[in-house]
Amino acid sequence: MSTSTDRVLDIRGLHVRFDTRDGEVHAVRGVDCHVERGECLGVVGESGSGKSQTFLAAMGLLAGNARTEGVVEHDGQNLLALSSAALDRVRGDRVAMIFQNPLTALTPHLTIGAQMRETLAAHRGSGGRKAIRARCIDWLERVALPEPERRLAQYPHELSGGMRQRVMIAQAMLCEPDLLIADEPTTALDVTIQAEILDLMDSLRRDTGTAIVLVTHDMGVVARLCDRVQVMRAGAYVEAGAVDAVFHAPAHAYTRALLDAVPRIDGPTAAAPVARADAAAVLVADEVDVRFHLPGALFRPGLELRAVDGISFSLAPGETLGVVGESGSGKSTLARAVLELVPRHAGQVAWMGRSIEGLAPTELRRARRDLSIVFQDPLASLDPSMTIGDSIAEPLRIAEPGLGRAARRTRVRETLERVGLEAGFVNRYPHELSGGQNQRVGIARAVITRPQVLICDEAVSALDVSVQAQVLVLLAELQKELGLAMLFISHDLSVVRQVSHRVLVMYLGSVVELAPCVALFDDPRHPYTRALLSAVPLPDPRIERGRERIRLQGSAARPTEAAARLRFRPSALVGVADGEHVPAATLDEVAPGHFVAAHDALERLLVE
């Protein structure tokens, strides 16, 4: 056991209580925890477990209605007992914090340089303009931000999400703190960016000896980065120990259940589709093309963004087609285009073997009963002023207008019970329900018309792991019962692997790879697919430590530029002017049903 002098933070018997109108909420219930110099401690738990509140309490950043009790010791001082002026001297200097959303955590009207100087001025006084500037540039270099000198004069909105998180880290590290508290630092980022940020945090910890507390819900992230882990549930730690021990021999049932619920990229795949291969496709997209016009300014012409650039696929009854891609790849736009919710620029869509081209608006609305969609945000996708029952009944009113009031009510109750909610929920409002319950309501609304196609747009992404597992089970059951064909859109490759029969990988509006699920995950051909797969963290510390990542040059940050569009074919970039349209790469069938977009050799695309 270490002596207490090695500890940069020592939390003993911490309680956090909130006074709310519904009475007292006991968010953290007597937590003991310590962080040693230079180590990385992972704190995992589901939402509402109190994992963030523990460390917000330590930093004195709790909301006004909170009361704390216990000791948080740093450098011989009890942080909970300090005056706010004394706490200000510790915060940002000895203990720093980075947050989940790098856009809202940076002040929009201040340049990067001004924000970094502010931190230094608060803790190091005036050290001369030149010295301060040099220190800022030095740290921006250390977090591997390209062109650091130019960045100092830029505003947060000019940087991409990953770059902003690098700036946050540089700012937090400016005073070389003893402890860096990272609250879900990569949750809002794409998987490849997440991998880069995690690598960066790991190397900074090795170089500077700054200890890191990583608060996260993602077991894979913990396995990649942490030495020790604490599993938190309902305000208390249920298990603590070295990562290897906790991951490979979990002592507590909750930890075991949590680990079992995490979908793994090396886990099992969906069973073979129940569908007859000869059955006619229920949904066909042919060269679908969606463009958005980005308005220009007085002397700057507008731009045209090809959100979906000629995508074709077909969906057989009972089949699940997974669609993966990073943010901005156009996967949600594709879903809305095949549902005729955004206008198509070109291309054809057929529902149930019938082209929707030239259908009268009323006919089109009637045809919608065969297709439904489940959205990402369970609360935002339900009308807050309507009861659950009314929301679920709505598609039925359109699809079967002849149905009487009583018959409709019966159907709503049946459907509610089918998705695992009590029939008594009909009179409740969405905000009275939890996220998982609301998502079940969203699913009930989608299946009440007994559709043949269900489009899930990030349907489980906003849910906790355990709830996510239950919702996936429900979707699989419904698919079997109703013979649903599903278009399953997600940024989470592990989930897609678990549910899909075929997978389509998208990059900036076009297909880079389309293959049967097993082939795609076991034998990825396209460099982008391989880079994505290698970036997904596995909830297994032994495998995770030895894994090599594939890092590709370039980024998708400026989707209208030719360099981004031709990221995997730099050889074709010669002679292409900026803004000029580049046709999507052709697809080659490398194996039966396995299509890969044309690309240059992987070696040419790697980061040196």
Partner 1 sequence: MSGVSKGSESLQAAALESAPVRGRSLMDDARARFLANRAASGSVVVLVLLVLAAVVGPAFLPWDHETPDWSAFRSPPSSENGHYFGTDQNGRDLLARTLHGTRVSLAVAFVATLVSVVIGVLFGAIAGYVGGRLDGAMMRFVDILYALPYILFVILLMVVFGRNVYLLFAAIGLLEWLTMARIVRGQTLSIRNREYIEAARAAGLGRMQIILRHVVPNLIGPVVIYAALTVPEIVATESFLSYLGFGVQEPLTSLGTLIAEGTDVIEVLPWLLWFPGATLVLLLLSLLFIGDGLRDAFDPKEIS
Among 3, 5, 83, 385, binds partner 1 (CB under 8 A): 385
Identity of the amino acid at 484: L
H or E segment to which residue 247 belongs: helix 243-248
Among 429, 560, 572, 576, binds partner 1 (CB under 8 A): 429
Which range in 247-255, 267-275, 502-510, 531-539 contacts partner 1 by CB under 8 A? 247-255
Block residue for tokens 């960066």: 200
548 lines the binding site for partner 1 (CB under 8 A) = no
- For the chain, report the end-to-end CA distance as a whole number of angstroms: 42
Among 7, 217, 368, 497, binds partner 1 (CB under 8 A): 368
Which range in 120-128, 184-192, 253-261, 530-538 contacts partner 1 by CB under 8 A? 253-261
Cα separation of 553 and 366, whole Å? 47
Among 36, 46, 73, 183, binds partner 1 (CB under 8 A): 46
Select from 167, 190, 170, 57 the least CA-distant residue to 107: 167
247 lines the binding site for partner 1 (CB under 8 A) = no
Min dist CB 484 to partner 1, Å, is 15
Which pairing describes strands 594-597 and 510-516: parallel, antiparallel, or unpaired? antiparallel
Cα separation of 461 and 494, whole Å? 11
Applying the rule CB under 8 A, the residues between 294 and 323 that interact with partner 1 are: none
Is residue 502 a contact partner of residue 322, using CB atoms and an 8 Å limit? Answer: yes
Is residue 119 a contact partner of residue 175, using CB atoms and an 8 Å limit? Answer: yes
From edge to edge, which strands make up the β-sheet containing 502-507? 371-374, 453-457, 485-490, 320-324, 502-507, 510-516, 594-597, 587-591
Give, as one character, the DSSP assignment of residue 576: P
Q: What is the 3-state secondary structure (H, E, C) of 488-519?
A: EEECCHHHHHHHCCEEEEEECCEEEEEEEHHH
Question: Judged by CB, which is closer to partner 1: 228, or 233?
Answer: 233
CB atoms within 10 A of CB 266: 13
461 lines the binding site for partner 1 (CB under 8 A) = no
Among 173, 243, 311, 382, binds partner 1 (CB under 8 A): 382
- Taking residues 439 to 458 in sequence order and writing x for each that binds partner 1 by CB under 8 A, - otherwise, the string is ---x--x-------------
Among 214, 258, 462, 566, binds partner 1 (CB under 8 A): 258
Which range in 141-149, 164-172, 209-217, 257-265 contacts partner 1 by CB under 8 A? 257-265
CB atoms within 10 A of CB 103: 13
Among 165, 192, 194, 381, binds partner 1 (CB under 8 A): 381
Q: Two tokens at 522?
A: 């076991």
Is residue 217 a contact partner of residue 184, using CB atoms and an 8 Å limit? Answer: yes
Which pairing describes strands 587-591 and 594-597: parallel, antiparallel, or unpaired? antiparallel
- Taking residues 14 to 33 in sequence order and writing x for each that binds partner 1 by CB under 8 A, - otherwise, the string is ------xxx------xx-x-
606 lines the binding site for partner 1 (CB under 8 A) = no
239 lines the binding site for partner 1 (CB under 8 A) = yes
233 lines the binding site for partner 1 (CB under 8 A) = yes
Cα separation of 477 and 574, whole Å? 51
245 lines the binding site for partner 1 (CB under 8 A) = no
Cα separation of 252 and 257, whole Å? 9
Question: Judged by CB, which is closer to partner 1: 233, or 526?
Answer: 233
Question: Judged by CB, which is closer to partner 1: 294, or 398?
Answer: 398
Among 113, 395, 537, 541, binds partner 1 (CB under 8 A): 395
Is residue 605 a contact partner of residue 570, using CB atoms and an 8 Å limit? Answer: yes
H or E segment to which residue 85 belongs: helix 84-90
Among 297, 431, 601, 608, binds partner 1 (CB under 8 A): 431
Q: What is the total count of residues that contact partner 1 (CB under 8 A)?
A: 68
User: Residues 104, 105, 111, CA angle at the centre, nearest 5°?
Assistant: 95
Among 365, 542, 558, 604, binds partner 1 (CB under 8 A): 365
Is residue 198 a contact partner of residue 224, using CB atoms and an 8 Å limit? Answer: yes
Among 209, 384, 583, 593, binds partner 1 (CB under 8 A): 384
CA distances from 79 to 69, 235, 351 (A): 11, 20, 62
Min dist CB 398 to partner 1, Å, is 4
Min dist CB 467 to partner 1, Å, is 5
- Taking residues 470 to 509 in sequence order and writing x for each that binds partner 1 by CB under 8 A, - otherwise, the string is x---------------------------------------
Find all residues with CB under 8 Å of 64, minimum gap 6, and list them: none
Min dist CB 347 to partner 1, Å, is 19
Among 25, 80, 261, 602, binds partner 1 (CB under 8 A): 261
Select from 351, 357, 372 the least CA-distant residue to 456: 372
423 lines the binding site for partner 1 (CB under 8 A) = no
Cα separation of 246 and 254, whole Å? 11
Min dist CB 341 to partner 1, Å, is 6
Cα separation of 599 and 586, whole Å? 9
Which range in 160-168, 288-296, 383-391, 550-558 contacts partner 1 by CB under 8 A? 383-391
Which range in 45-53, 132-140, 201-209, 552-560 contacts partner 1 by CB under 8 A? 45-53
Q: Two tokens at 188?
A: 């809002």
Question: Judged by CB, which is closer to partner 1: 261, or 563?
Answer: 261
From edge to edge, which strands make up the β-sheet containing 66-74? 23-36, 7-20, 66-74, 77-78
Residues that bind partner 1 (CB under 8 A): 20-22, 29-30, 32, 46-48, 63, 65, 233-234, 236-240, 251-254, 257-258, 260-261, 336, 339, 341, 361, 365-366, 368-369, 371-373, 375-377, 380-386, 391, 394-395, 398-399, 428-429, 431-437, 442, 445, 464, 466-467, 469-470
